[in-house]
Amino acid sequence: MKETSLALTLSMLAFMLTIIWGSPLLRILRHYKIGKLIRLEGPESHMSKMGTPTMGGVMFVLPIAFLTILLNAASLVGLNVLGNSVLLPVIAMIAFSILGAIDDWEGIRGPRRGVGMRARTKLLLQILLALGIAFILQNKNLIGVPEMYWPTSDEPLSLGAFYIPVAVFIIVGMSNAVNFTDGLDGLAGLISATAFAAYGGIALLQGQIFIGRFCFTIVGALFGFLWFNVHPAQFIMGDTGSLALGGVLGIVALMTGQWLLLPIIAIIPVAETLSIILQVGYFKLTKGKRIFKMAPLHHHFELLGWSETQVVQRFWLVGLLFAMLGIAIAMV
C-alpha cells in the first residue's frame, strides 16, 4: 500500500510541475513561431491546426527527467524513493526526445521543411539507440531484469541470443507506433498514459517499485500535458514527445518481462501501425487500391464521419479496456 501511495503522490507532483511549466513554454514556442506544418495529403479538417506550437513533448519530458534525477540524488542522503533501475529509461527518454526534436526542427526550419528528417536516417538512429539499451538490459550485472514472462507462468524465461533483436524490435517498433498515433488532439497522450498506468501497476505487483513509481510519474506528467493538448490543442507533442513515449513504453515492458502483453495494453498504437503496413502493402499489390480510406487508422474513422473528439474518446475507451485486460492476464 505504501508503494502505491508514493507512486500516486509522484504522479500528482509531476502533474503540478507540468502544469506550472506549460504556460511559459507555450509563450516561448509562440514567440519563436515553432508551429506545426500540416501535410496537404491529410484530412482537410486538420488544416486548422496549421501553426499550432509543436515540440510540446518538452513539456512532459523535462519534468519527468527532473523528478527522476532529483529523487535518485535524494537516495544519496538516505531517501530511497527511486532507484538506479529507472536511470536507463529516463536517459533513453531524453535521447529519443532529442532525436524527435531534431526531426521536428528539420520539419519546421530545416532544409526538409514540412517533411522532417529522412525516414532511413531516423530509423537507423533509433536502431542504434535501441541496440545500446538492449545490451544494457541483458547485462545482469547492470540491471538484472526478467527477460520474458509467459502468461500463467511465475518463472521468467530466458531468450538467450534472441533477446537483443527482440528488444530492439520492441523499442523501435513502439517508438514509431506512438508516433503514428499522434495525429489527433489528446490521442497519443491519453493512450500512452493508460499504457504506462497499466505497466506501472504490473511493476508494483512484481515488486519492482521503482519502475512502478517511474511509470506513474510519466502518467502524471502526461495528464499535465493533456491539460493543454485536449481539443482544440494549444500544443502538439511532436516527435519530441511521441518517439520518447513509445521508446520508453517498450523499455518498461521489457523491464517487467511482460512485453508479450504490449499488443494488448498498447492495442491502439499497434493497430495504427498495422493499418499503415496493410494499407501500403495492399496498395502496392493491387496497384492503387486501398483497404482504409486513409492511414493511420484514426484518419479512416475521421473520413467515415466521426468527429475528432469521438475518435479520440472511443479509441481511448478501447485502449483502457484492453489495458485492464492486460493487467488481468499479468495477474493470472
Percent pLDDT > 70 in the chain is 90
Q: 116-120: long-range contacts at Cβ-Cβ below 8 A with a sequence spacing of 24 or more? A: 116/239
pLDDT of residue 78: 54
pLDDT-wise least confident of 91-100, 113-122, 178-187 = 113-122
**What's the whole-number mean pLDDT along residues 39-56?**
69
Query: What does the alpha-carbon distance between residue 197 and residue 222 come to, in Å, rounded to a whole number?
Result: 11
Comparing 58 with 151, the larger pLDDT belongs to 58
- Centroid of chain to Cα 87: 17
- Match 499535465 to its residue by C-alpha cell: 224
pLDDT band with cut points at 50, 70 and 90 for residue 143: confident
Tell me if 270 sits within 8 A of 263, measured CB to CB: yes
Residue 41 has pLDDT above 60, yes or no: no
One-letter amino acid identity for 307?
A: S
- Match 520492441 to its residue by C-alpha cell: 170
pLDDT-wise least confident of 3-7, 48-52, 191-195, 285-289 = 48-52
Tell me if 239 sits within 8 A of 95, measured CB to CB: no
Residue 43 has pLDDT above 90, yes or no: no
Q: Tell me the pLDDT tens digit for each residue of 209-254.
A: 889 999 999 999 999 999 999 999 898 999 999 999 999 999 999 9
SS3 state at 74: helix
Tell me the helix, strand and coil percentages in the chain, rounded to 5.
70, 0, 25
Q: Is 281 left (phi over 0), alpha (psi -120 to 50) or beta?
A: alpha
Tell me if 181 sits within 8 A of 187, measured CB to CB: yes
* Short-list 323, 316, 54, CA closest to 190: 316
Q: What is the mean pLDDT of the chain?
A: 90
pLDDT band with cut points at 50, 70 and 90 for residue 71: confident
- Centroid of chain to Cα 35: 21
* Short-list 120, 229, 225, 243, CA closest to 179: 243
Query: What does the alpha-carbon distance between residue 260 and residue 187 come to, in Å, rounded to a whole number?
Result: 23
Q: Which three cell numbers stand for residue 255?
A: 523491464
pLDDT-wise least confident of 15-29, 142-156, 177-191 = 142-156
Torsion, CA 243, CA 130, CA 126, CA 202, rounded to 10:
-20
Residue 111 has pLDDT above 90, yes or no: no
Name residues whose C-beta falls within 8 Å of residue 27's C-beta, 6 or more positions apart in sequence: none
pLDDT of residue 39: 56
Q: Give the phi and the psi of residue 314 in degrees, each rounded to 5.
A: -70, -40
**What's the whole-number mean pLDDT along residues 276-294?**
95
* Short-list 160, 174, 151, 30, CA closest to 89: 174
pLDDT of residue 107: 84
Query: What does the alpha-carbon distance between residue 219 and residue 60 come to, in Å, rounded to a whole number?
Result: 10
pLDDT of residue 168: 98
**What's the whole-number mean pLDDT along residues 147-162?**
88
Query: What does the alpha-carbon distance between residue 178 and residue 176 come to, in Å, rounded to a whole number?
Result: 6
* Short-list 272, 275, 266, CA closest to 325: 266
Q: What is the pTM of this model?
A: 0.94
